[in-house]
Amino acid sequence: MPLPVFALMLCVFCVGTAEIAIAGILPDVADGLDVSVPSAGLLVTGYAVGVALGGPVITLLTLRVPRKALMVGLMAVFLAGNVGSFLAGNYATLMGARIVASLAHGTFVAMAGLVAARMSPPDRQATAIAQVSLGFNLANILGSPLGTLVGQRWGWRATFGALAITAVASIVLVLLAVPGRIGAGDGGGGTGDGAATGAPGGSVRDEVRVMCRPAVLASMAVTVLAQGAVFTTSTYLAPLMRDVSGFPGGAMSVLLAVFGIGAVLGNLVGGRLADRDPTRGAVLCLTTLVAVLALFWAVAPYRWPAVAVLVLFGAAGFSIIPVLQSRVLALAASAPLLALSANVSAFNLGNGFGAWLGGAVMDQGWGARSVTSAGCAAAAVALLVIAPMWARQRGLPTRPAEGAGQEGRPLVQAGDDDGAAPAPAAGSSGEPTAPAGAGAAGQRESARCAGE
């Protein structure tokens, strides 16, 4: 892995760990701040809401900011939020610090993959994006268990202290390894201010118009419901595995690592499904998630069956990410930056919704086991929303998309304004269509989704 791409992956690992590590130390945070576990779970909701609301706004406001300066600035905001969490003396201060840290999440994640692609040869751009995304998987396998272990051994504040130290290392690595001018546009070969400054330089109007397409918005609604189903259970894995399955608190770091291994496998499977057909892949993944959560409810009181299903839950829960991201990318291919950032926000809004839903059913006195059935219900609703979309697409003839047969072209063209979305090609309805450089799956999806 090239050092600049590793620097971005480390940042994503840090951001991803900050979001999920608190799940393993919720009882410790609750005890330390004298609040209930469901109230502590709202710290996940606060972070998610910060991402959901801040991501698209910050993306639009920073379209003309040089990318390296923007990424360093966002990581500095993230660092400040984690320092504030480390120093927080009460629940309200901790909630505020978590929200500050969350403001960097959406825009940075959307930007990191694009920058990694711009720094890579045309035939390695998809690989670079996958390597950056590996940070999220490592956050589940290593970051969350280590954060839980640190918090249980040295107190929950130590987890945020470790995140702050990792953020400092990430910022230094980005400053040293990522070039100030990224890609051909940054090298002065392009035209316009975006090429000269390393700013994205896209059109706000095109980005907003594409994001507001009904099919894109419907896909984001599915993202909220599906991710909410995952976080309804995953936020409360600690009380579920401790109080229902009977594991000691010290086993949580190992159990979260088991969950993370399943998440990596699920990401791989979801990516393969998305290559073929994102909508069909989403239907298959959501169907699996419903079945796995129902099974989790059934076996939760039994230790080792619960561990086996925990792996399946990680796989099913994380398989939805690539298929839902690919569907939005296919639908918004002509101006994808805001749509992708908004879909990151939708994932995090789902995180907050799931954390709230899990806490709500526990507050009703139904116990930690109920989070699996509540998650199953949310996944079933998501499936009911997207299944008709798939059925409708199957009934539509697939017309060739513009540029079919050119799926070997790079994901980001070297001649654009440093990664700005290309001008949309208008069809007879005036709506943007898939660009010529879109991958085969994206071209098929864009063509078939035109009727949604």
Q: pLDDT by residue (tens digit) across 289-310?
A: 999 999 999 998 998 899 999 9
pLDDT bracket for residue 401 (50, 70, 90): very low
Higher-confidence position of 418 and 130: 130
Which residue is it, tokens 């700005």?
420
Statement: the pTM of the whole predicted model exceeds 0.75: no
Mean pLDDT in residue range 255-270: 83
Q: Where residue 124 falls among pLDDT bands split at 50, 70, 90?
A: low
Quote the distance between the C-alpha of residue 279 and its chain's center: 18
DSSP 8-state assignment for residue 65 = S
* pLDDT score at 130: 62
Q: Tell me, what DSSP letter sits at residue 428?
A: T
Mean pLDDT of the region 429-451: 43
Residue 199 has pLDDT above 80, yes or no: no
Query: Comparing C-alpha atoms, which of 261, 253, 18, 260 is closest to residue 153?
Result: 253
Do 368 and 239 touch, CB atoms closer than 8 A? yes
pLDDT value at position 349? 80
Tokens 């390695």 correspond to 124
Q: Report CA-CA distances (Å) from 355 to 46, 72, 361.
A: 10, 30, 10
Residue pair 441/414 in contact by the 8 Å Cβ criterion: no
Q: Could you identify the residue written with the tokens 């008709």?
A: 388
Mean pLDDT across 50-65: 82
Q: State the pLDDT at residue 197.
A: 40
Give the residue, 40 or 405, on which the prediction is more confident: 40
Is-contact 240 369, C-beta < 8 A? yes
Amino acid identity at 259: F
Higher-confidence residue: 168 or 141? 168
CA distances from 243 to 298, 368, 415 (A): 15, 7, 57
pLDDT given at position 202:
55
**Cβ(8)–Cβ(116) below 8 Å:** yes
Q: How confident is the model at residue 427 (pLDDT cuts 50, 70, 90)?
A: very low
The 3-state secondary structure of 316-376 reads HHHHHHHHHHHHHHHHCCCCCHHHHHHHHHHHHHHHHHHHHHHHHHHHCCCCCCHHHHHHH
Among 64-78, 126-140, 148-162, 219-233, the minimum mean pLDDT is found in 126-140
Give the model's confidence band at 225: pLDDT under 50 very low, under 70 low, under 90 confident, else very high: very high
- Give the integer Cα–Cα distance in Å for 221 and 347: 9
What is the mean predicted confidence (pLDDT) over 339-362? Answer: 84
Position 387, amino acid: A
Q: What pLDDT shows up at residue 77?
A: 94
3-class secondary structure, 426: strand
Q: Which residues of 31-65 are buried (b: 16+ CB within 10 A; e: fewer)?
A: ebbebebbbbbbbbbbbbbbbbbbbbebbbebbeb
Please give the pLDDT value at position 396.
Answer: 54
- Pairwise CA distance, residues 360 & 324, whole Å: 27
Answer whether 254's CB lies under 8 Å from 303's CB. Answer: no
User: Which residue would you say has higher pLDDT here, 329 or 72?
Assistant: 72
For the segment 357-400, what is each residue's pLDDT rounded down to a tens digit?
998 998 888 888 889 999 999 999 999 998 887 777 665 554 43
For residue 26, pLDDT beyond 50: yes
Structure tokens at 257: 């690592």
The helix/strand/coil state of 432 is: strand
Rounded mean pLDDT of the chain? Answer: 78
Residue 307's pLDDT is what?
A: 92
Contact between residue 304 and residue 404 where contact means Cβ atoms under 8 Å apart? no
Contact at 8 Å (CB) between 258 and 310? yes
User: What is residue 438's predicted lDDT score, i.e. its pLDDT?
Assistant: 42
